[in-house]
Chains A and B, each alone.
Chain A
Amino acid sequence: KAGVTQTPRYLIKTRGQQVTLSCSPISGHRSVSWYQQTPGQGLQFLFEYFSETQRNKGNFPGRFSGRQFSNSRSEMNVSTLELGDSALYLCASSWSAKGDEQYFGPGTRLTVT
Chain B
Amino acid sequence: GESVGLHLPTLSVQEGDNSIINCAYSNSASDYFIWYKQESGKGPQFIIDIRSNMDKRQGQRVTVLLNKTVKHLSLQIAATQPGDSAVYFCAENSMDSSYKLIFGSGTRLLVRP
- Using CB atoms and an 8 Å cutoff, list the residues of chain A in contact with chain B: 4, 31, 33, 35, 37, 39-40, 42-45, 48, 50, 55-56, 58, 88, 90, 92, 94, 97-99, 101-107, 109
**A35-B101, A39-B3, A99-B95 given. 13 additional CB < 8 A pairs?**
A33-B99, A33-B101, A42-B104, A42-B105, A43-B103, A44-B103, A45-B101, A55-B99, A56-B98, A98-B95, A98-B96, A103-B46, A104-B44
Q: How many residues of B contact A (CB 8 A)?
A: 31
* Chain A residues within 8 Å of B5, by CB: 39, 42
| B99 CB contact (under 8 Å) in A44, A98, A106, A107 | A98
A103: which B residues are within 8 A, CB to CB? Answer: 46
Residue of A nearest to B36 (CB): A104
Contact (Cβ within 8 A) A104 B43: yes
State the Cβ distance, A16 to closest chain B Cβ, in Å: 25
